[in-house]
Amino acid sequence: MDFYGILKNAHKGFGYLELLLVALFIIALLATMFGFSGKVNKFLKKTTLFTMIFFHVQFLIGIIMLITTFTGGLNMGEVMKNSALRFQYVEHPFSMLIAAVLMTIVNKKVKSNDTISLGITIMGLIAVALFAFAFPWVKVFGA
């Protein structure tokens, strides 16, 4: 198996784990917001931390895959004309980058505050929404 194939399998495998972590993060975020009067608990801190870590790992693996693909001679003009290629090489990486940055900010806020605010909750939900938008559902689960 070549280097790109190993990265692709790792990226796909971590994607399944990331789905689980995002689901746990949403549950912890909403439970903290509505169930514990906004007090940050250990479960929220841990799920936020691990979700952020896996966002970053996924992003780094994806960037390496993107760089190796473009050094193979992919033409950007052709990529922008094709919607499937545009999603794979433009929309997916940039949405995931923004989601990873937002998740990093949410992690910092959760770690440093005793209570959770509506702004942190909204920022976390935006990060999850960007993740859900950019996740290649058809490639992972089939049509």
DSSP string, 7-40: HHHHHHHHHHHHHHHHHHHHHHHHHHHHHSTTB-
Q: Which amino acid is at 143?
A: A
First to last CA, the chain: 26
137 to each of 16, 72, 91, 100, 134, how far by Cα in Å?
A: 11, 26, 14, 19, 9
Which segments of the chain have a pLDDT < 70? Answer: 36, 71-72, 142-143
What are φ and ψ of residue 43, in 5° steps?
-60, -45
Tokens of 18: 């990331």
Q: What is the pLDDT of residue 30?
A: 87
Question: pTM score, two decimals?
Answer: 0.87
pLDDT tens-digit series, residues 43-52? 999 999 999 9
Instruction: Give the structural domain span for 86.
Output: 3-141
Q: What domain count does the chain have?
A: 1
pLDDT at position 66 is 86
Identity of the residue numbered 12? K
